[in-house]
Amino acid sequence: MDATQRTDQQRSADRRRRELLEAADRVVLRDGPQASMNAIAAEAGITKPILYRHFGDKGGLYAALAKRHTDALLDSLRAALDAPAERRERVEATLDTYLSAIEARPQVYRFLMHPAEGSQSDQGFDVGKHSAPLLRRMGEELAQVIEERLDLGPGSQQLARVWGHGIVGMMHAAGDWWLGERPCSRADLVRSLADLLWGRLAAAGDKVGGPGF
């Protein structure tokens, strides 16, 4: 087999993989965490063994879907961080980009971040084992952006990583709570989180008679 044939085969395999991921996306949008390999195979018009041949198991398919969505989200976050605006506006735009992404596709978010409850077909699949690396990747990516754009002085790399992972943890935890309960508008949540990042916590006084913070 010559190089041209190998290239053609690789392109065909990549195209087929994209088609299967698009089919998986459609099922996840419909079923959320309950999306099963059987349903995805049926949506793609193939048998489950063929799906396993491409991805190995649900963990392999999950990892491929996670990379697909995380890549797109990180591109959007970088664009918000690099927009020509004041720093506070860019912070709010970045927070809003993340929250609008999980709000627009809540079933995809739940598939990526929450285990399927009561699912028998994929029993034993540990989503937590796979979702933690996604958050770590986002934390590292954000740390790199912070280090590149802010003068943090000595120890800047370590501080940027602390901030990057801390901000991602905050966005994830607050966004997860907000998506489940909807206690306020997205704009209100963005403003409140930006206030926290902007130093409002440090500037706030202690309540009279309270133990402080």
Looking at the chain, the whole-number percentage of residues with pLDDT higher than 70 is 85
Question: 2 lies in a domain?
Answer: no
178 is a domain residue:
yes
Which structural domain range is residue 167 located in?
65-201
**Long-range pairs for 173-181 at CB < 8 Å and ≥24 separation?**
175/98, 175/99, 175/102, 176/113, 178/99, 179/102, 179/103, 179/106, 179/109
Angle between helices 156-181 and 106-113 (to 10 degrees): 120
Host H or E run for residue 191: helix 186-197
Among 112, 120, 133, residue whose Cα is nearest residue 28: 112
Whether residue 138 is predicted with pLDDT greater than 50 in this model: the reply is: yes
The pLDDT value recorded for residue 118 is 40
pLDDT value, residue 123: 47
Burial 34-69, CB ≥16 within 10 A → b, else e: bbbbebbbebbebeeeebeebbeebeebbbbbbebb
Mean pLDDT, residues 188-213: 78
* Lowest-pLDDT range of 1-15, 28-42, 58-72, 157-171: 1-15
Q: Within a domain: residue 38?
A: no
pLDDT over threshold 60, residue 102: yes
- 121: confidence class by pLDDT, cuts 50, 70, 90: very low
> Is 173 part of any domain?
yes
pLDDT at 185 over 50: yes
Residue 22 lies in a domain: no
In a domain, 116, yes or no: yes
58 in any annotated domain: no
Distance CA 142, CA 94 (A): 11
CATH classification of the domain holding 140: 1.10.357.10
End-to-end CA distance of the chain: 69
pLDDT at 213: 52
The total domain count for the chain is 1
Among all chains, which residue has been given the structure tokens 């195979």? Answer: 41
Q: What is the pLDDT of residue 196?
A: 94
Q: Is the pLDDT of residue 201 over 70?
A: no
Mean pLDDT of 123-147: 77
The answer as to whether 196 is a domain residue is: yes
Question: For residues 183, 187, 193 and 196, what is the CA-based torsion angle, rounded to 10 degrees?
Answer: -110
